[in-house]
């Protein structure tokens, strides 16, 4: 799909999945607003994208755990004359350890970034999308959203919020022209684990995050027919056939069988009618290919 004339705002854009989103949108002609705490890394990425794709890239360094940060970002994009057509809530982090022993302020910051910032930014950019009758909100959740995680209790709960929130947004705004997607990657080789501080939070070997960008073509395995009532769009990136989330630390598009957590056996296929009626749709609707409308 041609994204010329559209603007995507990506949080956590300096590395990992966020940087992949930025590169993929730029390659399709989208202008970009890049948000992360690390200004120099954002500037480096912005220079790369401007040179490679001749798109407009604005860099807005910000700490989304801070009070009023989302409001300031919305005001700055408006002052730049930009309207956000695609919002990618990607920024997030995890703390590893028991709740009673881990740093409480750090755990609270998890909730601020992984939940409150997602709500705040969505609440500020969604109304204008609804007025225009078009737009996309992509919230990066996790396979951690589908089960409680001992030693990462807060992280798992925040990602369950992101998934539930996204599904609810879809239900509230059916027929509006705005699309909603919850991306649920498994363990991915990004600086995420450097922030966590231990590889015990991972399951299996790491793979590159860049492999997410071109999901497999063909009919999605286990999809619910489009005529059936779906509660949201979920993207559990998988290997060909869009299978369940991966056992290895995979890219957001290269996953295999269900992971095992804390010796409790496999986490079973989350996309079942028992869990929620859901459709594996591509980023902007449909089932195969790349970022097609």
Distance of CA 96 to the CA centre of its chain: 20
With H, G, I as helix, E, B as strand and everything else as coil, classify residue 171: helix
How far is residue 232 from each of residues 64, 165, 172, 179, 194, measured CA to CA in Å?
26, 10, 10, 9, 32
DSSP state of 24: H
Are the C-beta atoms of residues 60 and 33 closer than 8 Å to each other? yes
DSSP state of 105: H
Handedness of CA 178, 218, 257, 270 (dihedral sign): positive
Q: How far apart are CA 252 and CA 236, in angstroms?
A: 8
Are the C-beta atoms of residues 34 and 80 closer than 8 Å to each other? no
Handedness of CA 121, 123, 125, 130 (dihedral sign): positive
Which two tokens mark 283? 């980023």
Handedness of CA 124, 128, 131, 134 (dihedral sign): negative
Which two tokens mark 213? 């960008």
Are the C-beta atoms of residues 233 and 181 closer than 8 Å to each other? yes
* E strand or H helix at 161: helix 153-172
Q: Known catalytic residues? A: 155
Q: Which of 173, 176, 168, 170 has its CA nearest to residue 132?
A: 176
């Amino acid at each position: 799909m041609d994204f010329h004339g559209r603007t995507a705002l990506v949080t956590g854009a300096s590395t990992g999945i966020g940087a992949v989103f930025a590169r993929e949108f730029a390659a399709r002609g989208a202008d970009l607003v890049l948000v992360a705490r690390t200004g120099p890394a954002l500037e480096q990425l912005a220079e790369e994208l401007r040179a490679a794709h001749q798109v407009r890239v604005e860099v807005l360094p910000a700490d989304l755990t801070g009070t009023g940060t989302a409001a300031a970002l919305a005001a700055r994009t408006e002052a730049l004359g930009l309207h956000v057509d695609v919002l990618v809530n990607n920024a997030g982090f995890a703390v590893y350890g028991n709740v009673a022993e881990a740093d409480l302020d750090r755990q609270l910051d998890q909730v601020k970034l992984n939940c409150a910032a997602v709500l705040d930014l969505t609440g500020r950019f969604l109304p204008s999308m609804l007025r225009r009758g078009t737009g996309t909100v992509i919230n990066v959740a996790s396979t951690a959203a589908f089960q409680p995680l001992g030693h990462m209790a807060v992280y798992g709960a925040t990602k369950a919020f992101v998934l539930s929130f996204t599904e609810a947004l879809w239900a509230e705004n059916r027929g509006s022209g705005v699309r909603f997607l919850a991306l649920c990657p498994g363990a991915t080789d990004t600086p995420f684990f450097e922030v966590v501080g231990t590889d015990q939070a991972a399951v299996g070997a790491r793979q590159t995050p860049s492999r997410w960008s071109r999901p497999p073509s063909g009919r999605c395995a286990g999809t619910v027919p489009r005529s059936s009532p779906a509660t949201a769009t979920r993207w559990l990136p998988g290997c060909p056939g869009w299978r369940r989330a991966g056992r290895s630390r995979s890219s957001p598009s290269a996953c295999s069988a269900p992971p095992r957590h804390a010796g409790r056996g496999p986490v079973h296929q989350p996309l079942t009618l028992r869990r929620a009626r859901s459709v594996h749709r591509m980023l902007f609707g449909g089932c195969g290919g790349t970022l097609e409308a």
